[in-house]
Amino acid sequence: MNVANQSYPENRSENASDHSLVPPCQDACPLHMDIREYVGLVSQGRIMEALQVIRTGNPFPSICAYVCTHPCEDACRRSQVDKPIAIRSLKRFAVEFGGDRMVRAEAETKHAEKVAIVGSGPAGLACAYYLKKLGYAVTVLEAHSELGGMLRVGIPQYRLPREVLNIEVQRLIRMGVEIRTDTRVVSLDLLFELGYKAIFITIGAHQSLRMGIEGEESPGVIDGATFLREVNLGLKPSLGKRVAVVGGGNVAIDAARTATRLGIKKVSILYRRSRAEMPADPKEVEQALEEGIDIIYLVTPTIIKRENKRLNVTCVRMELGEPDESGRQRPVPIKDSVFIEKFDTLIAAIGQAPQTPSDFGVRIGRGSTIQVDPSTLTTNRVGVFAGGDAVTGPATVTEALAAGRLAALRIDDYLQHRYPLPVKETKEKLGGDLLPKTIEMIKKIERVEPPNLAFEARAKDFETVELVYGWEQAINEARRCLRCGVGVEILFQDKCATCLTCLRVCPYHVPYLDVSGTIRIPADQCQACGICVAECPAKAIVLRKPFDRRQVTDELGHTIKSAAESKNKPLIIGFCCQYGLYGTGTLARLWRGAKAGVSIVPVLCVAKVEATHLLSAFKTGAEGVFVAGCGEQCARENTTYWVKQRVAKVRKVLGSIGLEPERLQVFALSSTAEDPAEELDKFVEQIGSLRLASVIKGEVKS
């Protein structure tokens, strides 16, 4: 398998006429995952295929499904309409329902060179995974007793079940990655002496920053990273009754929620800014509040005094002043606002930095991070690469995975004496905001949130808080995707007669006439419904992806072919939308082959079924043809209306050649109906009797 191609989906354009654009979600993802693709597959209920797409772009999708900070959702343009797609939850659904834990990764060693990976956090594990896939012997060296780095010692179990992590670790071991735990590396020279040809340093950022206040060294004051590490490695630090956590990042929230789970009733977070500036994931903050954690904003501790085994913490209230270099308003102490609070334990979680042994001999830059070339991850030492938090300072799991993958590719280049070529962006990015007139026409569909563990049940133990979607929920959520970047384009400008049909039929007011009188269909506004493609009288408009362009025709071809092979003429051909009802399985009995004599042509929205497709279906000898869409449930506008127009046109043709127009039907099914398939059953019956009548008349052979 070619890892280089696999890891950069934008390089996979096997077809030169693929004009799809990179959507904002994919662009925002550090791993550049093909999110639009797998969300699309989930919306059709094709979970296994969705998992395949996910696994192509991500070495440990199950882990990301729990802990990714989903920058993709922040970039999602659906948020301009209502709320972004719940991408992470959909990934979680795909890995659980798709059976990610059953996937076996296999690799064989092809190269003689050995690579050592110092640190087994997400960057180290990802690097090991890809290097192993590329055929290298890999050894992972970990100072702690178990693999995972921050995944193991930083992230609480209620956010990432250890079982998930263990499965990934086991998978690596099965692939043949050598693991050395309880092994702290002090010198790289030794590793080179042991025969390793390249080293990847990924030691993370485990050293907590100091608050720099009086009394910080007192017993009862502990730093966030240490606290979480102790709890995660199975220790139960004694915290007393009242705990304060200082900080506003994810570690602070994790520490507070962990303390709650250790049985502490009163946990307060002291944060020096207000909620809007809090860097922690808002969802986590919400859940912390639900669990009864008190967040005191605009407060900072200044002096800690230990008296009678308790901590007297002098605090000062803050107000927000001028913005600082991070763009957030700088907190300024308010005069005479000093107050004293008593706590048993104070957990300082105000940030972390890497701590690189000086014997490594690598150049250290700002914030104690290792300096590397960002495109090759090379350090100042030959053969030594570095990545992850050790280079970036505390960042996200996904960024670390991306760094690990990049390191693997660059180490491969280095060991094979190749010049590291920069990854070329072959596709344009899609950016820009949706116009108000377009937003207005996009159906608002409520975001489906996955259920959460009831909060009474939460605070007691370390069970996972976020639960997984049910089948129907996931499909309905995935259907909200706007499919940015796979809309239409006027591929054949020379054919365009500027008839303005597209401008008139578009439900979203996307096509427009520019000042020179040329029709334009801006890619960043198109909603990919496909109505204009089927209506364009010059056939000048096409969908941007070759697969989408051919889909209905190809599927019809398959249906006809398989019917020919079975020597049974299809009695009825049905063009069925694969989103919604069909994806959820409500109409499972109409899936391909499920009903005798009914052949199903799966389509991605009935708006893409053209009049000629309907004629072609009859041409194959079908006695009846139907189009079944999602009706009111369709995530797009006007789709049923346009199908009915085309059906009316084809019915006219049927009438003029002596076929009953009733042989062609449209069904706009909705799940609210008692039995959505009942109409279809009636139709099948009717066609049966029409056929019988023709047999009696001798028009067709039985």
**3-state helix, strand and coil shares in percent for the chain, rounded to the nearest 5:** 40, 15, 45
Is residue 491 part of the contact set for other proteins (CB under 8 A)? Answer: no
Output DSSP code: residue 277: G
Is residue 575 part of the contact set for other proteins (CB under 8 A)? Answer: no
Label residues 587-617 b or e (16+ Cβ within 10 Å = b).
Answer: beebbbeebebbbbbbbbbbbbbbbebbebb
Is residue 342 part of the contact set for other proteins (CB under 8 A)? Answer: no
**In the window 161-180, what residues touch other proteins (CB under 8 A)?**
none
Closer CB to other proteins, 267 or 617, in the complex? 617
Is residue 695 part of the contact set for other proteins (CB under 8 A)? Answer: no
Closest approach, Cβ 658 to other proteins, in A, equals: 7
Closest approach, Cβ 518 to other proteins, in A, equals: 15
Is residue 658 part of the contact set for other proteins (CB under 8 A)? Answer: yes
List 199, 536, 577, 647, residue binding other proteins (CB under 8 A):
536
List 265, 539, 561, 682, residue binding other proteins (CB under 8 A):
539
Closer CB to other proteins, 478 or 536, in the complex? 536
Is residue 572 part of the contact set for other proteins (CB under 8 A)? Answer: no
Residues 6+ apart with CB under 8 A from 682: none
Is residue 599 part of the contact set for other proteins (CB under 8 A)? Answer: no
Is residue 550 part of the contact set for other proteins (CB under 8 A)? Answer: no
| 316 strand-pairing partners | 300
User: At 82, is the secondary structure helix, strand, or coil?
Assistant: coil
**DSSP-assigned letters across all residues of 312-380:** EEEEEEEEEEEE-TTSSEEEEEPTT--EEEEESEEEE-S-EE----GGG---B-GGGPBP--TTT-B-S
- For residue 42, the surrounding DSSP H or E stretch is helix 35-43
Instruction: Label residue 294 left, alpha or beta by phi (over 0 means left) and psi (-120 to 50 means alpha).
Output: beta
List 456, 657, 672, 674, residue binding other proteins (CB under 8 A):
657
Closer CB to other proteins, 99 or 557, in the complex? 557
List 495, 561, 589, 682, residue binding other proteins (CB under 8 A):
495
Closer CB to other proteins, 445 or 503, in the complex? 503
Is residue 499 part of the contact set for other proteins (CB under 8 A)? Answer: yes
Closer CB to other proteins, 444 or 539, in the complex? 539
What is the three-state SS of 666-686? Answer: EEECCCCCCCCCHHHHHHHHH
Part of the chain binding other proteins (CB under 8 A), chosen from 235-243, 427-435, 599-607, 618-626:
618-626
Closer CB to other proteins, 147 or 556, in the complex? 556
Closer CB to other proteins, 203 or 533, in the complex? 533
List 612, 670, 671, 686, residue binding other proteins (CB under 8 A):
612
The amino acid at 142: E
Nearest CA among 542, 581, 576 for reference residue 559: 576
Closest approach, Cβ 595 to other proteins, in A, equals: 24
User: At 618, is the secondary structure helix, strand, or coil?
Assistant: helix
List 335, 537, 672, 674, residue binding other proteins (CB under 8 A):
537
For residues 266 and 244, what is the distance between their CA atoms, to the nearest angstrom?
9
Is residue 690 part of the contact set for other proteins (CB under 8 A)? Answer: no
For residues 246 and 346, what is the distance between their CA atoms, to the nearest angstrom?
7
**Which alpha helices (H) appear in 234-341, and where do they start and end?**
250-261, 282-290
Residues 6+ apart with CB under 8 A from 94: 38, 42, 47, 50, 51, 54, 61, 65, 100
Closest approach, Cβ 39 to other proteins, in A, equals: 32
Is residue 656 part of the contact set for other proteins (CB under 8 A)? Answer: yes
Closest approach, Cβ 621 to other proteins, in A, equals: 7
List 659, 660, 679, 690, residue binding other proteins (CB under 8 A):
659
* Contact predicate 129/175, CB 8 Å: yes
Part of the chain binding other proteins (CB under 8 A), chosen from 190-198, 308-316, 455-463, 531-539:
531-539
Is residue 240 part of the contact set for other proteins (CB under 8 A)? Answer: no
Part of the chain binding other proteins (CB under 8 A), chosen from 196-204, 377-385, 428-436, 651-659:
651-659
Nearest CA among 47, 156, 81 for reference residue 466: 156
List 383, 597, 621, 661, residue binding other proteins (CB under 8 A):
621
Label residues 312-338 b or e (16+ Cβ within 10 Å = b).
Answer: ebbbbbbebeeeeeeeebebebeeeee
- For residue 89, the surrounding DSSP H or E stretch is helix 87-98
* Contact predicate 179/128, CB 8 Å: no
List 210, 363, 504, 589, residue binding other proteins (CB under 8 A):
504
Is residue 611 part of the contact set for other proteins (CB under 8 A)? Answer: yes
Is residue 497 part of the contact set for other proteins (CB under 8 A)? Answer: yes
Is residue 305 part of the contact set for other proteins (CB under 8 A)? Answer: no
Total binding residues toward other proteins, as defined by CB under 8 A:
26
CA distances from 484 to 24, 34, 215, 490 (A): 8, 12, 54, 17
Closer CB to other proteins, 634 or 654, in the complex? 654
Interface residue list for other proteins (CB under 8 A): 494-495, 497, 499-501, 504-505, 535-539, 611-612, 615-616, 618-619, 621, 649, 653, 656-659
